[in-house]
Amino acid sequence: MDILETVQPIETMLPDRYETMSIEEMEARVREIKEKLGAKLFIPGHHYQKDEVVQFSDSTGDSLQLAQVAARNKEAKYIVFCGVHFMAETADMLTTDEQIVILPDMRAGCSMADMADIEQTERAWKELQQLFGDTMLPLTYVNSTAAIKAFCGRNGGATVTSSNAKKMVKWAFTQKERILFLPDQHLGRNTAYDLGVPLEKMAVWDPHTDSLEYDGNMEDVQVILWKGHCSVHKNFTVKNIESVRRNHPDMNIIVHPECCYEVVTASDYAGSTKYIIDMIEKAPSGSKWAIGTEMNLVNRIIQQHPDKEIISLNPFMCPCLTMNRIDLPHLLWVLEATLRGEHVNVIEVDKKVTEEAVLALNRMLERV
Ligand code: 13P
Ligand code: SF4
């Protein structure tokens, strides 16, 4: 028999049958499979995931917590990652070769991570080296491709998350005079400003025109920000803040540092997803909050704190579309396939890329 005849075609898109199953049926089936696979299966879930998925997560966290959890887990054979593509890549790179990382829907990408590709980055680095020589250290937000993490790894740099960006930027300045911060200009600008770097010492690299946007003397540049952003957090504006201040003068405003500098400085508090959750958790009963972050999380926080008045900073905010691609039907589909011994939607990062990216990830994980 021809060997090819023995290979079963593997479905890459959600089979139709999941469209017609009831929610109860799907939930019962997921529960059953989790029970059958036991410790062989581990389901991490990011805080921005839908409730229908989060209810089955073995561990819920922000990107830092999920990276740490993935690095620690040595027993699960299957890691079904409920989050977006770059998070599943990170999990694959931090786990052993025997562990299999699965993303329930391969279309769950991240528009921010897509804003820096490796060719653009290599080109930028070359140009920037002409200007600044060997004075720069690259730092990348974990919201980036494995190839960008590898680029940082081989150039002495590291990854950061919104929870440890300050610590990592501080560390970077002990290594070199300047940093190149990819791909989120806002997290980079907000963090550097918080550490005392004035806006006048920050330049912006535009990967579409291959040019540096900066008006002053090149010698003064301390931070080069990649011109990328989060398409969710960019939707919080100073106008939203003015409206909350006008209509609810006693409300606290708390935002994620992926929001722009103007929004962060006009707010009362700014910090990572975990920081926002912890702040609301410890806030007194009856306190009032307008939150500027992803909507699945804001809705969950509202449900969990009926004793507090909580609204979204932007009343017309939607959840992150790519996070939302992971839903109950996709979760069930990959779990059923896993139980049958078929591996669909496996995330496997190239060996060489992994080696270099892990250098950047470990430089972060060692310091947090
Ligand atoms: P954190 O989980 O680091 O807060 O990041 C937010 C985010 O946008 C994840 O995609
Ligand atoms: Fe990417 Fe923003 Fe969605 Fe996070 S919230 S996955 S940064 S688009």
- Which regions of the chain are under pLDDT 50? 1, 4-9
**Which segments within the chain are labelled E, that is strand?**
41-42, 44-46, 59-61, 78-80, 100-102, 136-141, 158-160, 178-182, 202-206, 211-213, 223-226, 252-255, 269-270, 288-292, 309-312
Nearest C-alpha to atom 2 of ligand 1 is from which residue?
62
Domains in the chain and their CATH numbers? 3-108+323-350 (3.40.50.10800), 113-230 (3.40.50.10800), 233-312 (3.40.50.10800)
| Position in ligand 1 atom list of the atom nearest CA 64 | 3
Nearest C-alpha to atom 7 of ligand 2 is from which residue?
230
pTM listed for this prediction:
0.95
Question: For a substitution probing ligand 1, which of 62, 163, 229 has the most ligand atoms within 8 Å of its CB?
Answer: 62
CB 232 less than 6 A from any atom of ligand 2: yes
Q: How many whole angstroms from 193 Cα to the centroid of ligand 1?
A: 20
CB 57 less than 6 A from any atom of ligand 2: no
Q: How many whole angstroms from 62 Cα to the centroid of ligand 1?
A: 6
pLDDT the model gives residue 8: 46
CB 235 less than 6 A from any atom of ligand 2: no
pLDDT the model gives residue 67: 87
Q: How many whole angstroms from 171 Cα to the centroid of ligand 2?
A: 25
Query: Residue 109: nearest ligand to its CA?
Result: 2
